């Protein structure tokens, strides 16, 4: 009896506030826009049978015809992919150096990596606006030391979005890679060096393969949220940068086209399912390897 | 003791400079006298004064704090219950669906979570405001709490609970006297995580709220869209300061806790 209550309360909470909302999104994505409140039809009022018979895939067909959406999905994938690569290039050396640091420093270094994660995401993105703008600190600094004579235009381009994603998501890359590297048995590298490997070669043949699980986990932890990102492209990317999270937000709040916004959400989810499944597989393999 | 090679020193220095310089610049320029954020015109604390006189910001801060405290507390209770059922509950009908619903919100884009909740609230004709933001935040943060707590539950010795039950404790007593003290650090960590997630959230709150309630991130958002402002810099610096103090205190406390446990274990070993 008590056990049933224990299970039922969180279960029904999630059913009501996660699962059902989801089904509603799916249903509305199959509806038509209407000048009414709520602004779509059919609704439940006409009875379930009548409602079901009026649902169709029109919005999805519309999404394939209008190249704005195609371009937004493709450019989200591109931006998420490129920034994942950059995050890896920035994150790996940091994780590597942390794992090599003296043991008594490691807890502090760890805390310093996690600390920005607790501070507001919005503020961390906002901090870059003042740095990257045309009269911003970066341009003034570069002009002062004489590298450039005219300010670079970085804010409101996709470069700014890359910088924003790398900056905010790099802790997600560092932590799993650090965890993998810290477990790595250093005598393996010593053995390789004793057997005639150069330092570089030992790194490529031993360190990299053994930290593969951490690298894969880190890449997915950056790629998955970057794909649906809204704050970074809106604040740093300007109107020229197309990302699907931003399109969805605008479709809903500016155009008030709920059925199309819902269809955009459904397709975004379908795209996300593949990396999420791959990520879970990787996690499972890691756990099995540990046992 | 291994020493860092020059390459590692360089990567750590650049890495931490990259992570911390932008925030440091933000804090420094919050003390700038000039309204032009990028031109330094002398030290001043006037933006902090303006901020404290800005009613709209103070109201939003109060709403945010209220939402964060209520939602993280409910989320901690629900998340702990969910973690307990997942780790100790055995089999029950719809277990796969349940664990799916716990993990899905962790990777769900915020725009989708927000959109779906808004459509639900409109569908059932609920007035949107503080209440709906609390419901929305509780839903996604309980999943984070549940993940944190269940990793702790999975690692501790189950026989301790069984011993309590054998010695005549009721399941509730066993939970309160044995399980809860052991998982307490994870429960506290879960609450803190839920609390900061709620404080930080912009997208889901924007969808879930109505005209009656504005949270601090929403307020910050509407003013930073117009560009950099010294008042926002001051507000950001206060938030960064509070979080840093909180995190440093928490990590010192957990370090002391670990040291105490280690000492007690050593003493116990000696006693045996």
**Whole-number Å distance between alpha carbons of B80 and B74:** 10
Structural domain contains residue A250: yes
The yes-or-no verdict on residue A37 having pLDDT over 70 is no
Please say if the pLDDT value at position B140 is more than 70: yes
Q: Do residue B85 and residue B157 come from a single domain?
A: yes
Give the count of domains, chain B: 2
Q: Which residues pair with A41 in a beta bridge?
A: A32
> For residues B49 and A34, which has the higher predicted lDDT (pLDDT)?
B49
Asked if A199 reaches chain B (Cβ–Cβ under 8 Å), the answer is no
Please determine, for residue B152, whether its predicted confidence score (pLDDT) is greater than 60.
yes
How far lies A49's CA from each of B23, B50, B56, B145, B192, in Å?
Answer: 57, 59, 48, 40, 47
Encode pLDDT of A179-211 as tens digits. Answer: 999 888 888 888 888 888 888 888 888 888 989
User: pLDDT band for position B1 (50/70/90)?
Assistant: very low
| Whole-number Cα distances in Å, B214 to A21, A121, B57 | 23, 18, 9
A1-12 pLDDT, tens per residue?
577 888 899 999
Measured between beta carbons, the chain A residues lying within 8 angstroms of B108 are 269
Contact call for B240 and A118, based on CB within 8 A: no
- Under DSSP, is residue A153 helix (H, G, I), strand (E, B) or coil? coil
Q: Is A127's CB within 8 Å of B15's CB?
A: no
A17 has a chain B CB within 8 A of its CB: yes
Same domain for B68 and B138, yes or no, is: yes
Render chain B in DSSP notation, one character per residue: -----HHHHHHHHHHHHHHHHHHHHHHHHTTBSSSSTTS---B--HHHHHHHH-HHHHHHHHHHHHHHHHHHHHHHHHHHHHHHHHHHS---TTHHHHHHHHHHHHHS-HHHHHHHHHHHHHHTTPPPSHHHHHHHHHHHHHHHHHHHHHHHHHHS-HHHHHHHHHTT--HHHHIIIIIHHHHHHHHHHHHHHHHHHHHH--HHHHHH--TT---HHHHHHHHHTT---HHHHHHHHHHHHHHHHHHHHHHHHHHHHHHHHHHHHHHHHHH-
Q: Distance from first CA to last CA of chain A, Å, rounded?
A: 35
The verdict on A277 touching B (C-beta cutoff 8 Å) is no
CA-closest candidate to residue B138, choices B202, B89, B69:
B69
User: Cis bond leading into A38, ω under 30°?
Assistant: yes
Residue A88: give the domain boundaries: 73-290
The nearest CA of chain A is from the CA of B175 a distance in Å of 12
- Domain membership of residue A244 (yes or no) is yes
Residue tagged 């499972």 (tokens)? A284
**Band of the pLDDT at A35, cuts 50, 70, 90?**
low
A47 pLDDT above the threshold of 80: no
Are residues B238 and B152 part of one domain?
no
Res B261: pLDDT: 82
- Tell whether A8 is within 8 A of chain B (Cβ): no
Alpha-helix runs per DSSP H in A133-198: 137-144, 158-183, 186-194
pLDDT class for B185, splitting at 50, 70, 90?
confident
Token digits of residue A140: 């003034």
> Which of A22, A38, A113 to mutate to test binding with chain B, by most B CBs within 10 Å of its CB?
A22
Same domain, B140 and B201: yes
The pLDDT tens digits for B71-126 are: 999 999 999 999 998 888 778 888 888 988 998 888 888 999 999 999 999 888 88
What's the farthest any 2 CA atoms get from each other in chain A? Answer: 79
B120-136 pLDDT per residue, tens: 998 888 889 999 999 99
Quick check: is B56 in a domain?
yes
Residue A280: other Cβ atoms inside 10 A: 13
Residue A84 in this model has a pLDDT that exceeds 70: yes
* Of A193, A195, A211, A196, residue with least CA distance to A88: A211
B221 and B235 co-located in one domain: no
In a domain, B11, yes or no: no
CA atoms within 13 A on the CB side of B6: 0
Q: Is A33 part of any domain? A: no
pLDDT of residue A152: 87
State the CB neighbour count (10 A cutoff) for residue B163. 13
Q: Is residue A36 part of a domain?
A: no
Is B161 among the domain residues?
yes
Please identify which residue in the block is written with the tokens 């006298």: B33
User: Among A20, A65, A63, which Cα is nearest to A271's?
Assistant: A63
Q: Is residue A226 included in any domain, yes or no?
A: yes
Residue B128 included in any domain: yes
Q: Which of A2, A15, A116 is opposite residue B171, by nearest beta carbon?
A: A2
Nearest CA to A177 out of A103, A113, A112, A83 is that of A113
CA nearest to B20, candidates A119, A172, A42: A119
Residue A28 lies in a domain: no
According to DSSP, residue A45 is labeled: G
Phi, psi of A41 (to 5 degrees): -145, 160
For residues B271 and B154, state if they share a domain: no
Contact yes or no for A28 and B117 at CB 8 A: no
Q: Do B95 and B189 have their domain in common?
A: yes
Please report the residues numbered 107 through 126 in chain A whose beta carbons come closer than 8 angstroms to any beta carbon of chain B.
107, 109, 111-116, 118-124, 126
Query: Same domain, yes or no, for B193 and B168?
Result: yes
Residue range of the domain that includes B88: 52-227
Task: Tell me which residues of chain B, numbers 208 to 267, contact chain A at a CB-CB cutoff of 8 Å.
Answer: 217, 220-221, 224-225, 227-228, 232-233, 236, 239-240, 243-244, 246-248, 251, 255
What's the structural domain count of chain A? 1
The answer to whether residue A57 neighbours chain B at the CB level (below 8 Å) is no
ipTM of the complex: 0.86
pLDDT tens per residue, range B240-260: 898 889 888 888 887 888 888
CA-CA distance, A247 to A241, in Å (whole number)?
10
Domain contains B18: no
Q: What is the mean pLDDT of chain B?
A: 88
Query: What 3-state DSSP class applies to A142?
Result: helix
Say if A3 falls within a structural domain: no
Looking at the fold, whether B80 and B211 belong to one and the same domain comes out as yes
CATH number of the domain where residue A281 is located: 1.10.3720.10
Q: What is the pLDDT of residue B170?
A: 87
Query: A144 at the B interface (CB within 8 A)?
Result: no
pLDDT in tens, A158-183: 999 999 999 999 999 999 999 999 88
Q: For residue A90, what are its two tokens?
A: 């920035």
Whether residue A55 is predicted with pLDDT greater than 90 in this model: the reply is no
Please report which confidence band the pLDDT of residue A45 belongs to, taking 50, 70 and 90 as the band edges.
low
Tell me how far apart the 2 most distant CA atoms of chain B are, in Å. 72
What is the CATH classification number for the domain harbouring B122?
Answer: 1.10.3720.10
Mean pLDDT of chain A: 87
Q: Say yes or no for a CB contact (<8 Å) between B111 and A249.
A: yes
Its pTM surpasses 0.90: no
Domain-embedded: residue B45: no
């Amino acid at each position: 009896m008590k056990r049933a209550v224990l299970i039922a309360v969180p279960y029904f909470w999630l059913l009501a506030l996660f699962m059902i909302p989801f089904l509603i999104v799916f249903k509305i994505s199959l509806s038509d826009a209407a000048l009414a409140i709520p602004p779509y039809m059919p609704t439940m009022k006409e009875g379930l049978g009548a409602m079901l018979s009026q649902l169709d895939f029109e919005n999805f067909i519309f999404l394939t015809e209008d190249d704005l959406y195609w371009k937004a999905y493709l450019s989200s994938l591109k931006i998420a992919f490129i920034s994942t690569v950059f995050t890896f290039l920035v994150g790996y050396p940091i994780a590597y150096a942390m794992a090599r640091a003296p043991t008594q420093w490691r807890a502090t270094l760890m805390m310093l990596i996690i600390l920005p994660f607790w501070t507001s995401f919005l503020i961390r993105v906002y901090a870059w606006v003042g740095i990257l703008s045309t009269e911003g600190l970066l341009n003034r600094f570069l002009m002062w030391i004489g590298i450039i004579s005219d300010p670079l235009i970085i804010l409101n381009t996709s470069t700014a979005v890359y910088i924003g994603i790398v900056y905010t998501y790099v802790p997600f890359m560092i932590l799993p890679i650090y965890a993998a590297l810290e477990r790595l048995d250093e005598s393996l590298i010593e053995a390789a060096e004793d057997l005639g490997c150069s330092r570089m070669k030992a790194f490529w043949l031993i360190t990299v393969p053994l930290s593969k699980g951490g690298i894969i986990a880190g890449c997915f932890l950056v790629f998955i949220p970057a794909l649906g990102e809204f704050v970074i492209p809106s604040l740093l990317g300007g109107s020229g940068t197309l990302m699907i999270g931003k399109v969805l937000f605008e479709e809903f709040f500016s155009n008030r086209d709920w059925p199309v916004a819902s269809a955009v959400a459904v397709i975004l989810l379908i795209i996300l399912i593949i990396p999420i499944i791959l990520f879970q597989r990787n996690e499972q393999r890691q756990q099995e390897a540990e046992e | 003791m291994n020493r860092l090679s020059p390459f590692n020193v360089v990567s750590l220095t650049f890495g931490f400079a990259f992570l911390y310089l932008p925030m440091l610049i933000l804090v420094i320029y919050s003390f700038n006298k000039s309204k032009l954020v990028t031109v330094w015109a002398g030290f001043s604390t006037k933006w902090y004064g303006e901020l404290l006189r800005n009613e709209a910001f103070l109201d939003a801060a109060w709403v945010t704090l209220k939402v964060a405290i209520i939602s993280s507390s409910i989320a901690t209770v629900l998340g702990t219950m969910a973690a307990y059922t997942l780790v100790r509950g055995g089999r029950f009908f719809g277990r796969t669906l349940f664990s799916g619903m716990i993990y899905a919100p962790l990777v769900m884009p915020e725009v989708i979570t927000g959109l779906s909740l808004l459509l639900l609230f409109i569908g059932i004709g609920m007035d949107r405001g503080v209440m709906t933001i609390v419901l929305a935040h509780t839903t996604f943060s309980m999943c984070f709490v549940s993940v944190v707590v269940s990793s702790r539950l999975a690692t501790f010795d189950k026989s301790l609970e069984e011993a309590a039950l054998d010695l005549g404790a009721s399941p509730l007593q066993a939970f309160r006297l044995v399980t809860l003290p052991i998982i307490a650090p994870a429960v506290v960590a879960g609450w803190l995580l839920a609390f900061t997630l709620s404080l930080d959230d912009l997208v889901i709150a924007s969808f879930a709220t109505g005209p009656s309630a504005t949270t601090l991130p929403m307020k910050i958002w509407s003013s930073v869209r117009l560009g950099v402002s010294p008042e926002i810099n001051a507000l950001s610096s206060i938030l960064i300061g509070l979080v840093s103090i909180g995190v440093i205190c928490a990590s010192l406390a957990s370090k002391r806790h670990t040291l105490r446990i280690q000492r007690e274990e050593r003493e116990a070993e000696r006693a045996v």
